[in-house]
Amino acid sequence: MYAAGIIVEFNPFHNGHSTHIADTRELTGCKHVIAVMSGNFVQRGEPAICDKWLRTKMALLNGVDVVIEIPVQYVISGADYFARGSVGLLNATGVIDALCFGSESGNLQEIIAAGKILAEEPLRYKEVLRNGLDKGLSFAAAKGAALEACLGDVSQGLLNKPNNGLAIEYCKALQLIKSPMKIFTTHRQHGGPSATKIRQSLLTGQNVGDMPKCIADILSCVTKFAQLDDFSDVFRYLLYSKPNRATCLGEGIENRFRKMCGEFAKISDILTAVKTKRYTYTRLQRDVLKILLDILPSHMEFFEQHGGVQYIRVLGFRKEAAHVVGEIAQKASLPVVTHGAAIDKLLQKRDAAAKMLQQELMIGDIYRLASGEVGGYRGERGKGIVII
């Protein structure tokens, strides 16, 4: 097998990620591991604790050969979009033979079966899903109930563990695009290191374990770790001055946000007050980012109408794997962006790819408001990719 793909955030990289990469090589027998990774904002609806360039370096120092960025529009638009964008990117490279993801279940056949139900949406699934939403369940809870009704007896935790949930969405996406990639899963039996706990330790200045020494050394040089509350003043300003950004979210969420903005100063406190059984904290965090980053539902509809993810942006590679990037450039079904000149060329086309990339460049500037890094307008245009 030539190359296996993994879908990651490395927020930040830890020992569990090292195990996943090693297991991917062992399970698939691949020569190369290619990671598609969230950029400066991550799927749970937060800024990454450190920027995508540092996290790319972390990946390349610890067994990944090539890192490709998942466009932010697909990162913060829910698990289904995240999976479609990630799987679509891996498939579009033209060189990846397999996808290997982690799961708490480890039962690949059950995961594939659940993915097939999501892809086909049989009548029973639709009925139970609709009934759950009518009862006020969150979409995730209603979807879990609908899957359980269709699958029958399943392994404990299959439908309510985060990695299982993403794994099912990956399988759904693979079925929808009829990808020939083989599927493998690594079994996260005991959960492994917690990225959440590591982030909390970093933000509070506590000692951090569960990561390779080179990662700890990189993180020790970060002067400021980004967090969602860094955008609190900007968020409250936008809610009052740009009402259309919030109104488009629907379901009256913008009214709840505005009400709580009058009572709380920090985004985290506003979210706690707005959260309900129907509106989960993570879903609301993504809504906050959509307002902050000006990513509207109409933008996602436009990109989906034009085929989804529009380009392959390489963030970095190992010198020994430079030929892999060359093969991707030759075989990919999407434009491949590796340097500033390629960015400029893509922007000149004024098509869906240019629109997606323009948003990404703008969002790179916005991220620097939280990270404290100094940089010019669309500073990423001149940013060199990471080569280890």
Per-residue pLDDT of the chain (388 residues; tens, 9 = 90+): 899 999 999 999 999 999 999 999 999 999 999 999 999 999 999 999 999 999 999 999 999 999 999 999 999 998 999 999 999 999 999 999 999 999 998 999 999 999 999 999 999 999 999 999 999 888 888 998 999 999 988 777 788 888 999 999 999 999 999 999 999 999 876 656 889 999 999 999 888 889 999 999 999 999 999 999 999 999 999 988 887 777 767 767 788 888 898 899 999 999 999 988 778 889 899 999 999 999 988 899 999 999 999 999 999 999 999 999 999 999 999 999 998 889 999 999 989 999 999 999 999 999 998 988 877 777 788 788 999 9
The answer to whether the beta carbons of residues 161 and 191 sit under 8 Å apart is no
Helices 281-293 and 253-261, axial angle in degrees (round to 10): 80
Query: Which contiguous run of DSSP H or E holds residue 28?
Result: helix 15-28
The answer to whether the beta carbons of residues 41 and 367 sit under 8 Å apart is yes
The answer to whether the beta carbons of residues 253 and 276 sit under 8 Å apart is no
- Predicted local distance difference test score (pLDDT) of residue 187: 83
Distance CA 71, CA 201 (A): 28
Radius of gyration for the alpha carbons in the chain, expressed in angstroms and rounded: 20
Distance CA 368, CA 379 (A): 10
Distance CA 388, CA 214 (A): 13
1-104+161-225+308-388 folds as Rossmann fold (3.40.50)
List the chain domain ranges. 1-104+161-225+308-388, 228-298
Query: For residue 258, which of 228, 283, 287, 278 has the smallest C-alpha distance?
Result: 287
Which structure tokens are listed for 194? 């917690």
- Residue 206 sits at φ, ψ, to 5 deg, of -85, 165
The answer to whether the beta carbons of residues 68 and 93 sit under 8 Å apart is yes
- Residue 346 sits at φ, ψ, to 5 deg, of -70, -40
Q: Is the dihedral of CA 112, 118, 123, 125 positive or negative?
A: positive
- For residue 348, the one-letter residue type is Q
The answer to whether the beta carbons of residues 47 and 40 sit under 8 Å apart is yes
CA dihedral 87, 89, 92, 93 (to 10 degrees): -110
Question: Which positions ≥6 away from 147 have C-beta within 8 Å?
Answer: 114, 117, 118, 125, 159, 168
Distance CA 3, CA 29 (A): 9
- For residue 76, the one-letter residue type is I
Q: Looking up tokens 């269709």, which residue turns up?
A: 150
Distance CA 288, CA 25 (A): 38
The answer to whether the beta carbons of residues 21 and 53 sit under 8 Å apart is no
The answer to whether the beta carbons of residues 386 and 315 sit under 8 Å apart is yes
The answer to whether the beta carbons of residues 86 and 170 sit under 8 Å apart is yes
Query: For residue 226, which of 296, 271, 289, 290 has the smallest C-alpha distance?
Result: 289
Q: Where are the alpha helices (DSSP H) in the chain?
A: 15-28, 52-60, 72-75, 79-92, 108-120, 123-134, 139-151, 162-176, 195-204, 213-220, 232-241, 243-247, 253-261, 267-274, 281-293, 297-305, 322-331, 340-347, 352-371
Helices 253-261 and 267-274, axial angle in degrees (round to 10): 130
pTM of the model: 0.95
The alpha carbon of residue 359 and the mean position of all alpha carbons in its chain are separated, in whole angstroms, by 16
DSSP class of 303: H
